[in-house]
Chain A
Amino acid sequence: MINASLKDLAAALGAKQISSVELTQLFLDRIHRLNPDINAYITLDADRSLAQAAAADVRIAQGNAGPLTGIPFAQKDIFCAKGWRTTCGSKMLENFVAPYDAHIISQFDAAGAVNLGKTNMDEFAMGSSNETSYYGKVQNPWDRARVPGGSSGGSAAAVAARLAPAATGTDTGGSIRQPASLCGLSGLKPTYGVCSRYGMIAFASSLDQAGPMAKSAEDLGLMMNVMAGFDQRDSTSLPREKEDYTRDLNLPLKGLRIGIPKEYFADGLDAGVAKVVLDAIEQYRKLGAETVEVSLPNTQLSIPVYYVLAPAEASSNLSRYDGVRYGHRAAEYTDLMDMYCKSRAEGFGAEVKRRIMVGTYVLSAGYYDAYYLKAQQIRRLIAQDFEQAFKQCDVIMGPAAPGTAFKTGEKTNDPVAMYLEDLYTIAVNLAGLPGMSVPAGFANGLPVGLQIIGNYFSEARMLNIGHQYQQVTDWHTRMPEGI
């Protein structure tokens, strides 16, 4: 049951082989046993979860079940869920009980899904290892001395350790794809604007995008059917027709043109990871795909551009934490200014403060054109690289991360080394394109993800490409030992 697909879980629920309450309890029991070490969840509320499960059982009995009804999902603690403590991994929001639901949460609720708990994450989604969380680091279930990646590290560890059938994540610079790669999962960052950001605590608004994390591409498609859709409460949500993201899963791949960017296989890529990724591409050739070398010449620039745009937007977004309406307030202060400064100094962790300061600096008087505007101009060049590449191919494939899971503490003292973790993922966010990571094998005993980058709104095709690969490989069904 713990390794079942969402489709199989729905079938078991529909056939009354198991109730939603039993299924939810099964996962809560596993969480109770394993989470004290793995630390994938920040907040659990068994009563709430089981009440949702009981309601789902009624719905199933009435014959009103949808594909996700009664299935428990772990929710990244960046999504406001009414009545649930929602911390975003920060001390700042240690006591914040969300007074409303994020769009994504209400979509899961409407589908009859169960909220299993809120997962650990890098503070305000700023990190690639889950080590910046105020609620402690998360263990990678494949090697407990290593990080699960980040920022959606708790969601990744939860699914990898089978502490949830699937989970939500968010991806601003790789925060779904990199942890999916490091934990052996499938994860999709949709086209910017496809999933509403309403109630998703903001980091860098022009880049943030929610997406599903699961075992298989098929599971991702079923979740996308619930998560995607226009929402007028998000000013950047795109008005589009509803689509069935699973509609193309079974299409053959004959004639698929795969672009391989030479820049993604240059210096900095682990040799073991490169081999796994190239083997996966070889598997696609066997499935009838053709490959063509493409170039994304501005790849290296995506990191500096991102570390201007994301901190700039973060410094603005995080100015709302002033200790007045909600969030942490210092115990002692002399005046209003002192209250702001002390509350923020105490409430934010070191990495968040660093990024706020970088953002404040690049936006400060006289620097806007040299940094923010310049970064937005180069952002267009990066998007144009992809536009050129997609004239030659249908999708682009390469690694999702430059290496496998690294040791806890290995990169915490060098922010720039940590930032390079996202070399292959950031450009996709800057261009607003969809990107996916699927398990493609192991290097040094640790999972490796294959990144699939599609053109705008090609998620259904990308899921088809992932699904076909998963019909002839079994990497996505592998489980770590000791769970």
Chain B
Amino acid sequence: MSLTTDDVKRIAHLARIEVTEADAQATLEKLGGILDLIEQMQAVDTAGIEPMSHSQDVTQRLREDAVTETNQRELFQSIAPAVENGLYLVPKVIE
């Protein structure tokens, strides 16, 4: 599997990370090594093996559908980059 700089730009866009042409070239070389490493997996026969996400045989817990959090809007918004009247400000998205 060999990536091109266009692939790197596409992946970066999906990841919402701006890359310059020079970044894309440098990233391409590093990613190539990592993806080659990952390719070692393909030699393993995994037919019929159940994927493992948690080492213990656990199921998702449920809780009562009740409010457990208190309103801390002011505290939480005190660390936001831009707020106004209790709202988070972002660039205009709807004309």
Interface residue ranges, A against B (CB under 8 Å): 95-97, 99, 191-193, 206, 232, 235-236, 238, 300-301, 303-305, 307-308, 315, 319, 322-329, 333-342, 344-345, 348, 353-354, 356-358, 360-362, 364, 370-371, 373-381, 383, 414-416, 419, 431-433, 456
Who on chain B is nearest to A364 by CB? Answer: B14
13 contacts between A and B (CB under 8 A): A206-B54, A301-B44, A304-B41, A307-B37, A326-B76, A353-B27, A354-B31, A357-B27, A361-B11, A375-B41, A377-B46, A414-B33, A456-B55
Who on chain B is nearest to A380 by CB? Answer: B52
Number of interface residues of B (CB under 8 A): 49
Q: Which residues of the partner chain A approach B16 to less than 8 Å between Cβ atoms?
A: 319, 322, 337, 340-341, 344
Q: Please report the C-alpha to C-alpha distance between residue A344 and residue B61 in the assembled complex, in whole angstroms.
A: 34
Contact A333/B49 with A308-B38, A378-B41, A432-B54 known, Cβ cut-off 8 Å: no
Q: Which residues of the partner chain B approach A336 to less than 8 Å between Cβ atoms?
A: 90-91, 93
Q: Please report the C-alpha to C-alpha distance between residue A336 and residue B18 in the assembled complex, in whole angstroms.
A: 13
B30:A415 contact, CB within 8 angstroms: yes
B67 at the interface (CB under 8 A from A): no
A99:B72 contact, CB within 8 angstroms: yes
Who on chain B is nearest to A352 by CB? Answer: B17
Q: Please report the C-alpha to C-alpha distance between residue A381 and residue B52 in the assembled complex, in whole angstroms.
A: 9
Who on chain A is nearest to B72 by CB? Answer: A99
What's the minimum C-beta distance from A342 to chain B, rounded to whole angstroms?
5
B51:A373 contact, CB within 8 angstroms: yes
Q: Which residues of the partner chain A approach B31 to less than 8 Å between Cβ atoms?
A: 354, 357-358, 361
B61:A376 contact, CB within 8 angstroms: no
A341:B17 contact, CB within 8 angstroms: yes
Contact A354/B27 with A232-B61, A301-B40 known, Cβ cut-off 8 Å: yes
Contact A99/B41 with A344-B18, A361-B11 known, Cβ cut-off 8 Å: no
B50 at the interface (CB under 8 A from A): yes
Q: Please report the C-alpha to C-alpha distance between residue A383 and residue B72 in the assembled complex, in whole angstroms.
A: 42
Q: Which residues of the partner chain A approach B58 to less than 8 Å between Cβ atoms?
A: 193, 236, 238
B56 at the interface (CB under 8 A from A): yes
B60 at the interface (CB under 8 A from A): yes
Q: Please report the C-alpha to C-alpha distance between residue A371 and residue B63 in the assembled complex, in whole angstroms.
A: 33
Q: Which residues of the partner chain B approach A379 to less than 8 Å between Cβ atoms?
A: 51-52
A380:B49 contact, CB within 8 angstroms: yes
Cβ-defined partner of A339 (8 Å) among B27, B30, B61, B91: B91
What's the minimum C-beta distance from A217 to chain B, rounded to whole angstroms?
23
Contact A357/B56 with A304-B38, A336-B90, A416-B33 known, Cβ cut-off 8 Å: no
B13-61 residues with Cβ-Cβ distance < 8 A to A are 13-19, 27, 30-31, 33-35, 37-42, 44, 46, 49-56, 58, 60-61
